[in-house]
Amino acid sequence: MEFNIKIPKHLKQFHRKELEHYRYYLVNKQYSNAWYHLERSHIIGQSYPIEHIYSHWLMLKFGLMQKDTKEVFGQIIRLLVGGWKSFINHVPLGNTGGTNVPSLKRMSIPNNIEKLLERK
């Protein structure tokens, strides 16, 4: 069994960039663009516990800010479960992390992110 503890440097760089885009759009009240980049950060970091949990933490805060009860409760559940699943490398790849998709559903990965994930 493979344990994922630390995100590779090349992925960390792109994960951080997606979070920068998220914050930029959030500050500028472009919420759909902000959420888009938050989902991308989730896809990149979901196999690594710290980044995975952090994505869900930001999604929870976003849900609270938007007063989206479904998102808030869904993210609380994901926060409780997501971290250990990424630690044991058992995540549904490509899943965007929001409550608008089932938490265990594999999804297609955007091409530019897939290329990043293939690189070791």
Would you state the structure tokens that stand for residue 118, as one six-digit string?
A: 């293939």
Mean per-residue pLDDT pooled into runs of 10, the chain (120 residues): 81 97 98 98 93 96 98 94 74 92 92 86
Closest CA to 95 of 86, 83, 104: 104
State residue 53's pLDDT score.
93
Closest CA to 97 of 14, 28, 37, 9: 37
State residue 1's pLDDT score.
56
Look at the pTM and tell me if it is higher than 0.75. yes
Q: Is residue 40 within 8 Å of 20, Cβ to Cβ?
A: no
10 vs 30: CA distance, rounded Å: 28
